[in-house]
A and B are shown apart, each in its own frame.
Chain A
Amino acid sequence: VTDRSEVCVIGAGASGALSAKVLTEAGVRVTMLEKGPWLKPSDFGSDEVANTRRHYLGPDPELSPRTIRRSETEVAHPSAFCMTPQLVGGGTVHWGGWTMRMTESDFRQHSLHGSVEGADLADWPVTYSELEPFYCKAEWALGVSGQGGANLHESFRSREYPCPPVPATRYGWRFRTACRQLGYNAFPTPMAVLTRAHGTGRPTVQNAFVELHGDPTGTRSSALTRFIPDAHATGKLDLRPLSFVQNLEVNSEGRVTRAVFIDERGRRRAIDADLFLLAAGAIESARLLLLSQSGRFPEGIGNDDGLVGRYLTLHEFASAVGVFDDGDPIFGWAGGGVAASSTYQFYESDYSRGFVGGAHLMGMGVGTHLPVNFSLPEQPRWGKTAKDNDRRYFNRSMAVAFVLSDLPQWSNRVDLDPTVVDAWGVPVPRITVHAHPNDLAQAAWMSTKAAEILTAAGASRVWKPTTEDLTGSALHQHGSLRMGAQAVSSVLDRWGRVHSTPNLYVVDSSSFPTPSGTNPTLTIMANAWRVAEHLLNRRGSSIN
């Protein structure tokens, strides 16, 4: 069975749902296909076991495995690698909601640093200035809470945050106080959390079950709770959950004509459209292009030069952990451990540190700071000592964490596993990644800095993380379908359009030439908004 639509969006997460909102609000008919279910806020809850141990928000790695290897010469083994949720709302359903902006330098990494051996830095074909208005739009659409100007290292902003910052937690307070003592600028971490009425949203409560959990109350904004209802209200959106796209068909001119998918009852169906927007995330979007092989594109769409899947960057989430024997308790679980404070003091490159790039540091709870998952590094995991540590430190510990800005490398990539298939019989994404020496140098330096802040905050004992490789621990993914000014070294043009395929646009973070040192989702939304407005501006003649 084949249906028709003006635009077909594949993936209903941060970028797909945002695109659907912007396009449908301008009157465009959109069909959006999402592999996962369409859950409602009432389907979410405070269940640490279901959410952190049993893949409640999916995907279950037994159904949708990935494989991982460190180099081209190894056989990849199945792994639950970087399993960002697959459902309507995507990663924004389980996110902590941190919504920092990138800075001007993030868009000019090659101009600033030139060549780094073993890596391929590139400038974005977009500048911060071009994106800035869309950052504002995304912040206002979500209802981000924050304090404009508090981050002295932020690039310019033309509009204040729509909501004031989340009240300070004790771990946020300790972090800010320690930073002040050390002479570092700290600021309340901007969050997609309503602190006052905004649009149709109302603030509710700060509970303890935040990261990795959906929010049943609506205080935390997501693509599911903000963008999907807007798009739905236009009457122009046809959202199809449990619809797993397996192939894009092309005609002799290289245009995509059809998305072929399996519906929830296992039936093969298709959508024909004038224009296709790919928004499945950097791993799944690359996988779909590689799966879409044809006489015209024997190696997959956009892959004539073998670039599809390459330059995958993942961040690495690492944290120093401190315990506090003296002073007031910290309650690292209040606000879910993510009502944090941040610093961009070490965000910009400083060659005297011995590496390029930098990271956003934040004071937060220890991991997912909840009882089942609580643990301290290098400590016994069972027996009397473990129980004593739980009792002494569950309320008296915090972390200073960072996301590593890993360098894009040719060999870090997504391709199709030659033997492993998923529960639908489709070859799974095979991930080949290893850390660059610059990544490890950066991690070591940031670890020392994170530990220094914890010590200044009064920690009686501090553990520094050791980062040995990229593990996908941030659940961030970027870069597998780079955009660039030159077709020879990129898959997408500056609007996210596949060079070889004029009616196919990629709107997710696959397009990011470099990953930045901060959480990507606000930038994903801003960039998708920029592309969607471009498509609408071109609509005079026809949408494509």
Chain B
Amino acid sequence: MTRSTTVLSKAHYRTLVSAMDRIIPPDNDPGAKAAGAPRYLAQLLAGPDFVFAKPDGSGFLHLTGKHARIWRARLRNWRSQYRGGLSEADRRARARSGQAFANLGPDDQDLILMELSHDPQWTEFFELLLSHTREGYYGDPIYGGNLARAGWRAIGFDGPSSLADVHSGHYSTQDYFQPSETPEPGR
């Protein structure tokens, strides 16, 4: 996605991808990177055009007035948090081993993320990173993450095929209720 380069620098984006892939690491199921979480975030940060999907899945709501204003300000703050936090992660990586965060091994990356998560100055950044990684991994695919429902498959969530699937009343979880032949357990 081209926006990633305009919203975050190439270096920041590279750090972001590595950090997200430690929040939800790859194994026999995709990690955050392969599920598209970084892409999801880059699209969100670019401006208030991807904040709310239309409930029928036909696109995104156009925000106006106070809501547009508040979301522009919120996204501006988030971009600034990410630039600061990702720079700090890289700074700590270089201080530790002379390399960019993205070039460190998983254990060193985890150590830096752990430090940031406990440092009051970086808590807000870390909480954003955590939230957005989960949203990009487990949120509805319309937001650009959870590619091919990778997150839902990993945990066994038989979610709707699309927002439209629910909107039209087709998506049902009835198959996951108690089988109806089970005898009633008295009172």
Contacts and interface: CB of A to CB of B under 8 A. Distances in A.
Nearest to A173: B178
* Chain A: interface size category: 35 or more
A333 B113 CA distance: 31
A449 to B, nearest CB: 18
Interface string B113-155: 1000000000000000011011100111011000000011011
Interface of B: 22-25, 27, 29, 51-57, 66-67, 70, 73-74, 110, 113, 130-131, 133-135, 138-140, 142-143, 151-152, 154-157, 159-160, 163, 165-167, 169-174, 176-178, 180, 182, 185-187
Nearest to A339: B177
B174 A46 contact: no
Given A63-B66, A206-B174, A371 B155 contact: yes
Contacts of A172: 178
Interface stretch (A6-14, A49-57, A109-117, A474-482): A49-57
13 contacts: A45-B57, A46-B163, A46-B166, A47-B163, A48-B140, A63-B67, A169-B178, A334-B177, A370-B157, A371-B155, A374-B155, A391-B155, A423-B70
Contact of A216 (B51, B67, B159, B167): B167
Interface stretch (A15-23, A348-356, A381-389): A381-389
Given A46-B166, A371-B157, A372-B139, A205 B52 contact: no
A286 to B, nearest CB: 24
A43 B56 CA distance: 8
Given A371-B152, A382-B22, A383-B25, A334 B173 contact: yes
Contacts of B151: 371
Contacts of B180: 167
Given A45-B167, A49-B140, 6 more contacts: A49-B143, A167-B178, A180-B185, A208-B160, A334-B174, A374-B138
Interface string A26-70: 000000000000000011111111100110100010110000000
Contacts of B172: 205-207
Contacts of A53: 131, 135
Interface in A180-235: 180, 185-187, 204-209, 216-217
A216 B22 contact: no
Interface in A217-270: 217
Contact of A387 (B25, B157, B163, B169): B25
Nearest to B51: A54
A390 interface: yes
Contacts of B110: 383
A423 B165 CA distance: 36
A49 B66 contact: no
A331 B173 contact: yes
Contacts of A168: 177-178, 182
B159 A382 contact: no
B155 A334 contact: no
Contacts of A423: 66, 70
Contacts of A49: 53, 135, 139-140, 143
B52 A54 contact: yes
Given A167-B177, A207-B172, A372-B139, A45 B55 contact: yes
Give the 3 A-B residue pairs with the shortest CB-CB distance, closest first. A45-B55, A371-B138, A46-B166
A62 B74 CA distance: 9
A278 B98 CA distance: 65
A204 B169 contact: yes
A395 to B, nearest CB: 5
A484 interface: no
Given A45-B55, A49-B139, A50-B53, A394 B167 contact: no
Nearest to B154: A391
Residue among A42, A47, A205, A333 with most chain B CB within 10 A: A47
B166 A209 contact: yes
A497 to B, nearest CB: 35
A394 B177 CA distance: 15
Nearest to B138: A371
B186 A207 contact: no
Interface in A370-410: 370-372, 374, 381-384, 386-387, 390-391, 394-395
A382 B55 contact: no
A50 B114 CA distance: 28
A204 B170 CA distance: 9
A152 interface: yes
Contacts of B174: 167, 205-206, 334
A176 interface: yes
B185 to A, nearest CB: 5
A150 B52 contact: no
Given A48-B140, A54-B52, A390 B154 contact: yes
A383 B154 CA distance: 15
Contacts of B159: 208, 371
Contact of A395 (B155, B166, B171): B155
A152 B187 CA distance: 9
Contacts of B66: 63, 423
A544 interface: no
